[in-house]
Amino acid sequence: MRFTLETSCDGVREQFFVLGEIPGVLWTPQGSAGTRPMVMMGHGGGQHKKAPDILSRARRFVAECGFAVVAVDVPAHGDRPKVEEYDRLAAENQARVEAGEELAPLIADFQALVARQTVPEWRAVLDAVQQLEHVGAGPVGYWGVSLGCGLGVPFVAAEPRVRAAVLGLGGALASAEVAGQITVPVEFLVQWDDERVPRAQSLALFEALASAEKTLHANPGKHGEVPAFEVDSTLRFFARHLG
Amino acid sequence: MRFTLETSCDGVREQFFVLGEIPGVLWTPQGSAGTRPMVMMGHGGGQHKKAPDILSRARRFVAECGFAVVAVDVPAHGDRPKVEEYDRLAAENQARVEAGEELAPLIADFQALVARQTVPEWRAVLDAVQQLEHVGAGPVGYWGVSLGCGLGVPFVAAEPRVRAAVLGLGGALASAEVAGQITVPVEFLVQWDDERVPRAQSLALFEALASAEKTLHANPGKHGEVPAFEVDSTLRFFARHLG
């Protein structure tokens, strides 16, 4: 793990790093030392580790809860090189949708493919970050919606260090079987008028989670229109389960 | 409006009253004066104005938000006399369920009947309580689930003073058309394994609300098993919209 750049702003320390081929960012309270809860955040499709919704949530988790937050670029996103196989699949899927195929199953297959790479990558990032003196091996949470849900479900299922997760804006096709292996508390976001994920599939993925405590929050609006008050709810959810 | 009994405990003043034939309770912060937000609470079937879930929520709304809270007995509940017509209908419905009819439509019809009496009663209670110096004509919220939702939907639709409502554990059959007249923010509770309200009907009632801001919270468990953390969420919802 190699740190490349560091800044601080409004009490939040931001450290860019590279782990092998994985570029990432770690946010912690400025001047802090010792073990603390950590939230790993998975970004959406076409976005990256410092996308606005990642950054604004990360800053609040750090400033209001004293957590550490880490986010890395998914392969072929952010500072990472293109992946020829993904480009080819994306073009193929585009053509299939134009020819009348349903979008959701194609997204699901694609996310399952990417997850085979990201699950071991994210576990390695967790290993490395937990070695740091100002993070340590405290309770871990995961936050990810849309692509961050598609990749997050297999990650949360595979990683026993994750104690609570916020997921959503994702459907059941890729993830239902794996979701049945998740038993930690989950807050699950649904956009009632999601143009990318059919409502029935969202509800089916929530249904598939084996968690004794799981709570579904549905709001009107499209895929990208999660209301601001859900960030407050997310914050309290993690504070309750990791704090 | 005639006050009959008054107590105070842990900073919460509790005043019993009778308005015409309607027995009620008003909770306010002890020693308070002046206008404040008020939440009207509708109790569940077979319960009453001081049922444990009403009382515990009311005390928190008062102690943590400084609100006034009012609850009254629904006809044939609590301190009110039996209503022969309701008894007859309940017995008829019981027989029809035993003969194989679906429960939900029978409940819906019954609640619609009771609402024709409770909507004007509750509006009169609101008029009277808002005359009191320590309550005043501040913003009004409504909280009611189960029977409190069945009666609450027509009340919230009819009463322009209500600015935000927590509803739920109720289905669409009785209320869908009336729900389409509700435009204020709503937090809507669904129990995922509700044995009394079919899930599809709960979702349909949420769908029917015309509110631009509405948020559905679904949790695993049966009709009576709403998790404790939803009370915190309710509190913040009212604080956001009435505070």
Minimal-distance CA residue of chain B relative to A220: B214
Q: Is the pLDDT of residue A174 over 70?
A: no
Query: Which residue ranges in chain B fall short of pLDDT 70?
Result: 174
Confidence of residue A172 (pLDDT cuts 50, 70, 90): confident
Instruction: Classify strands B68-72 and B22-29 as parallel, antiparallel or unpaired.
Output: antiparallel
Residues of B whose CB is below 8 A from A216: 190, 192, 216-219
**How deeply is B18 buried, as exposed, middle or buried, from its count of CB atoms within 10 A (0-12, 13-18, 19+)?**
middle
Closest CA to B27 of B7, B13, B48, B42: B13
A218 touches chain B (CB under 8 A): yes
The whole-number pLDDT of residue B173 equals: 75
Quick: pLDDT tens for A45-56: 999 999 999 999
Helix (H, G, I), strand (E, B) or coil at B197: coil
Residue B195 lies in a domain: yes
Quick: pLDDT tens for A60-92: 999 999 999 999 999 999 999 999 999 999 899
Instruction: State whether B240 and A229 contact (CB < 8 Å).
Output: yes
Instruction: State whether A218 and B216 contact (CB < 8 Å).
Output: yes
Minimal CA separation from B124 to chain A, in Å = 33
The whole-number pLDDT of residue A105 equals: 86
The whole-number pLDDT of residue A171 equals: 81
Q: How far is CA A29 from the centre of its chain?
A: 21
Instruction: State whether A219 and B217 contact (CB < 8 Å).
Output: no
pTM of the model: 0.91
Per the CB < 8 A criterion, the answer to whether B149 and B74 are in contact is: no
C-alpha separations of B9 from A238, B14, B25, B28, B62 in Å: 33, 8, 14, 11, 12
- Separation of first and last alpha carbons in chain A: 27
Quick: pLDDT tens for A175-226: 788 999 999 999 999 999 999 889 999 999 999 999 999 999 999 999 999 9
Per the CB < 8 A criterion, the answer to whether A152 and A165 are in contact is: yes
d(CA B124, CA B120): 6
- Separation of first and last alpha carbons in chain B: 27
Domain boundaries, position B166: 2-80+107-242
The encoded tokens of residue A145 equal 């919606």
Other beta carbons less than 10 A from residue A46's beta carbon: 12
Size of interface A-B (CB pairs under 8 A): 44
Residue B9 lies in a domain: yes
Residue B206 lies in a domain: yes
Quick: pLDDT tens for A108-160: 888 999 999 999 999 999 999 999 999 999 999 999 999 999 999 999 999 99
The DSSP line for A121-158 is HHHHHHHHHHTSTTT-S--EEEEE-THHHHTHHHHHHH
d(CA A226, CA A230): 7
Number of domains forming the structure of chain B: 1
Closest CA to B173 of B193, B150, B146: B150
Which regions of chain B does DSSP assign to beta strands (E)? 2-9, 12-19, 22-29, 38-42, 68-72, 140-144, 162-168, 186-191, 214-219
The whole-number pLDDT of residue A206 equals: 96
Instruction: State whether A216 and B192 contact (CB < 8 Å).
Output: yes
B232 touches chain A (CB under 8 A): yes
The whole-number pLDDT of residue B150 equals: 94
Number of H helices, E strands in chain B: 8, 9
Share the mean pLDDT of chain A.
Answer: 95
Tell me A39's DSSP state: E
Residue B141 lies in a domain: yes
Quick: pLDDT tens for B15-59: 999 999 999 999 999 999 999 999 999 999 999 999 999 999 999
Query: Which residues have C-beta within 8 Å of that of residue A39, sequence separation ≥ 6?
Result: A58, A61, A67, A68, A69, A70, A140, A141, A142, A143, A238, A242
Residues of B whose CB is below 8 A from A234: none
Minimal-distance CA residue of chain B relative to A228: B213
Instruction: State whether B227 and A215 contact (CB < 8 Å).
Output: yes
The whole-number pLDDT of residue A102 equals: 87
B235 touches chain A (CB under 8 A): no
Other beta carbons less than 10 A from residue B103's beta carbon: 15
Residue B88 lies in a domain: no
Query: Which residues have C-beta within 8 Å of that of residue A61, sequence separation ≥ 6?
Result: A27, A39, A67, A69, A235, A238
**CATH number, residue A147:** 3.40.50.1820
d(CA B243, CA B238): 7
B68 forms beta bridges with B38
The whole-number pLDDT of residue B130 equals: 98
d(CA A159, CA A153): 10
The encoded tokens of residue A148 equal 């961050």
Backbone angles phi, psi at A164, to 5 degrees: -160, 145
- Rg of chain B on CA atoms, in Å: 17
Helix (H, G, I), strand (E, B) or coil at A46: coil
